[in-house]
Every structure is written in structure tokens, then in C-alpha cells.
Amino acid sequence: MANLVRGMRDVLPEEARQWRAVEERIVEVLDGFAYEELRLPLLEMTELFARSVGAATDIVEKEMYSLTDRDGSSISLRPEGTASCARAMLESGLLRNQAQRVFYRGPMFRHERPQMGRFRQFHQIGAEAFGPPGPDVDAELIQIGAEIWRALDLTGDIQLELNTLGAPAARAAWRDALAAYLRPHRAALDADSARRLDRNPLRILDSKSSDTQALLADAPRFDDYIDDESAAHFEALKGLLDELGIAYVVNPRMVRGLDYYGRTVFEWITERLGAQGTVCAGGRYDGLVEIIGGKPTAAAGFALGLERVLLLRQAVQEADPEPPVDVYCCVLEPQWQGAVLATVQRLRDGLPGLRFRVHVGGGRLKSQLKRADQCGARWALLFGEDELRDNRMALKDLRSGAPQEALTAEAVIERLLGGTA
Ligand code: ATP
Ligand code: MG
């Protein structure tokens, strides 16, 4: 018996329809902000993620699906999109003295413990802006997020949290002070935090352990270390958000799991999905392009998790399951099947929004109509001997129960264009 791989999911038709609707709305918002789509490969050199995401991060330390290519090089299924995006922009020359705004979408892979809202293959839509370093870019990226929630009717269920990580030198000084403060308390830390103390001490800030959090209450605060320029950047960003009417909470404990962030970081969070409450996360990563071999290039972006967005929509909204078929076409004479297929294609051409399903496999009218009903079709078209000889078909409104009418293809198109028969 072949089984689904742990942490993977099948998206079955009814859910896939929701996915598509949600993706389309998100992409419409990104289009409206003039972000352009980039399609990226699933496989990258492992080195790309080790350098950019960071060798000491959970992702690179233990979550990547890596394999040895036939030439001996180590390649990995992408665990996130930003590094690939920066690599592609750099390699294609698109970053040469130009501001660029792009988005990507698709599956990402991380070997994590599967649970609600956390999978080993999951899907992101991400947006990235390369070039200008100012807080106006950060504000616009956040505005895009707010518009996406509005387009999905989720505004009331998602809150924005913000923080600043300052410039690299300020952050390094704070990190060292934090590690020095925590080292004498190593024994009181949870296991993960103790391990991070030497490798990646800032990550200790988002530990879920209450003992660790208690220790952190008196830890050195970034406020005392932040550089003036980053502080001004953060103030300007908050001013812009105020002007836009976008509410936020400053969360000084938010550090993000990836090494490449600096200055602004933000998360869009919901309370409705338990521990997996972050539906979208992003920030500024001005150092990234240089880390992977380019010239210093300011950059900022975000990625949203589609599974979590979908789960949230399901949690807050009545599903209105849309039937998979609009018009069910009953074929009463097997020898007419070819003529019916050709005629229905003319109807599809004239009615591009409607979904037509032609009955296959023969059978009596009664059982064909039963099938039409089961799949939720609004209309049935009956192709019988008499109608076909007359170049017509019988249109039946399955909801009103009104008597059926024999119509030409043109008349059917006209009738269904109005949406009501
Ligand atoms: P988390 O703290 O939930 O692990 P993260 O900080 O690792 O998230 P990012 O790398 O910033 O997440 O990815 C951006 C978004 O992608 C997350 O906010 C989340 O919505 C989604 N995401 C990340 N990992 C997963 C996963 N394993 N399964 C489903 N969605 C995920
Ligand atoms: Mg994670």
C-alpha cells in the first residue's frame, strides 16, 4: 500500500478551489502594487541557505531536505523563498542599479514536527523589494499585507507586531550582552535555549518556556544598544503606519528565525490558530545580497503561509461550497456523442465563466439527471434525437423546475449569459 509521506498533504478538489480563490485574490493585490512575479526552482545549492538563512538556524541545522546530486554537490529543497529570490535577481543582473519589486509563490520544505498549521511541505506567497533602504518600503510592504487581509475578509482576525533589530553592529553588541547575562543561568534554561546560548542567543528571546521567559525579564534590552539611524528608521516607519491607519503592537521579543534580518521585522498574527498563529512574517534584510556575493543592496520583504491563511479563513467564515459543475449535458443517443462534444465546445467558447460536464458512459435519462443533481449543476442540457436533428437542445433549469425549452446553441448562450434561465 502506498501512503502519503509524513508532513505532506493532498489538497482535494473542494479545498483546491478555495486555495485558488485565495491565491488569486492575493496575487491581485500584489499586481495592484506593481509587484512582478518570479518563478523559482525548488532545488538550490545547500550552500545558498547555509550562507543566507544562517548555518546556526533551526532551518539549516535540522530542517532541510538535502541530497547529494550526481556530481557530488549538496543540493536542497528550498525551505524558504527569499534566498532563492535574491540569488535569481543577482544572477540575472536584475539588481544592477535598479529598484525591483517581485513576488513568488509555491511549495517550501522543512523537516519539522507536523501539527495543525505546520507541515513539511507548505506553501508561501512572498514579496520582496530590492533597492531603496528607507522605511517607506517597509511601510508599503506592511500595507500590502493589510490589503491582502482586507481582500480576504480577515482584517479583524489578524494583528500586526513589529520590532527593530537595528544595524548589525548594534545587534551583535546586544547579542553578546544577552549571552553574557544568560550564561551564569545556563542550568535554568530550557534545553533548546541552552543549546542556542552559544550558537544563536537571540533566538532564546522567543522561547516558549516560562522559566526562560522569567529569566529574560531582567535581560539587557535592545533599547540600550540600538544605533541612532535604526531608531530613526523605526520611528519613521511607525509614523507612516499611523498615517495609513494600520494598527500595530511593538514586540521587543520578536527576533525572527532567520539570520538575514536587520532593522525592521514584523509578523501578522492570529489568535485563532493556536501555537501556529503567525500567518505572515517579514522584515528588512539589507545584508543578504552581499552575503550571497552581490553588491550591498537594501532589501525587504515578507512571506505568508497559505495553509495558515486557509485554516484561518475556514475558522472564521462559513464555507460556501461552490458546486464543481454549472451545466450537465445529458447524451441520450450514443451515436450523437461526437456532435454533442462539438456543440458543447461552442457553448464553452460563448460562456467562458461556466463549467460544462458532458455525460460519459451512456445510461438512461433518469440516471443522467440524477448525476447532474448530485454534482450540484444548476442547469441540464438534454441532447436527444429530435433536438439534435433540429440543431437544438433542451435546457432545463434544475432549481426552478420550470418546463424545459428546446433552444439553439445561440439561444442557450444568450439565456445563460444573463445568469438566469
Ligand atoms: P514559525 O515560527 O511558525 O515556525 P517561521 O518563523 O519559521 O514560522 P518563516 O520562515 O518566516 O516562518 O515563514 C513565513 C510564514 O510561512 C510563516 O509565518 C508561516 O505562516 C509559514 N510557515 C513557516 N513554516 C511553516 C510550516 N512548517 N508549515 C506551514 N506554514 C509554515
Ligand atoms: Mg519555523
**pLDDT given at position 387:** 85
Q: How far is CA 208 from CA 204, 226, 268, 277, 416, in A?
A: 9, 25, 18, 13, 57
Ligand 1: atom nearest CA of 112 is 27
Matching fold, domains 13-167+227-316 and 327-417: no
Cell digits for 190? 530550557
- Ligand 1 atom showing the smallest separation from residue 80 Cα: 10
Asked if residue 139 has its Cβ within 6 Å of ligand 1, the reply is no
Q: Cβ distance 240 to 180 under 8 Å?
A: no
pLDDT digits (tens, 9 = 90+) for 186-233: 999 999 899 989 888 998 988 889 999 999 999 999 999 999 999 999
Q: What is the pLDDT of residues 35-46, one digit of tens each?
A: 999 999 999 999
pLDDT tens digits, one per residue of 296-331: 999 999 999 999 999 999 999 887 778 889 999 999
Beta strands in 61-213 (DSSP E): 66-68, 74-77, 100-109, 121-131, 159-164
Atom of ligand 1 nearest to the CA of 79: 10
Question: Measured in angstroms, how far is the CA atom of residue 289 from the centroid of ligand 1?
Answer: 22
Strand 393-397 relative to strand 405-407, pairing: antiparallel
Ligand 1 close to Cβ of residue 277 (< 6 A): no
Helix (H/G/I), strand (E/B), else coil: 419: coil
Ligand 1 within 6 A of 123 CB?
A: no
- Write the residue with the smallest CA distance to atom 8 of ligand 1: 278
Cβ proximity of 130 and 299 under 8 Å? yes
Cα(178) to centroid of ligand 1, in Å? Answer: 25
Is 327-417 a domain of CATH 3.40.50.800?
A: yes
| 110 touches ligand 1 (CB under 6 Å) | yes
Q: For the full predicted model, state whether its pTM sits above 0.75.
A: yes
State if residue 308 touches ligand 1 by the CB under 6 angstroms criterion: yes
Q: Determine the atom of ligand 1 nearest the C-alpha atom of 275.
A: 3
Find out whether the beta carbon of 303 lies less than 6 Å from any atom of ligand 1: yes
Cβ–ligand 1 contact at 312 (below 6 Å): no
Burial 293-325 (b: 16+ CB within 10 A, else e): ebeebbbbbbbbbbbbbbbbbeeeeeeeeeeeb
Residues with pLDDT less than 70, the chain? 257, 419-421
Residue-range domain boundaries for the chain: 13-167+227-316, 327-417
**Whether 128 contacts 52, CB under 8 Å:** no
Neighbours of 190 (CB within 10 A): 16
Between the CA of 419 and the centroid of ligand 2 the distance, in Å, is 46
Q: Which CATH class is domain 13-167+227-316?
A: alpha beta
Ligand 1 centre from 257 Cα, in Å? Answer: 9
Residue 268 CA, ligand 2 centroid: distance in Å: 14
Instruction: Give the closest residue to 47 by CA, choosing from 9, 26, 76, 18.
Output: 76
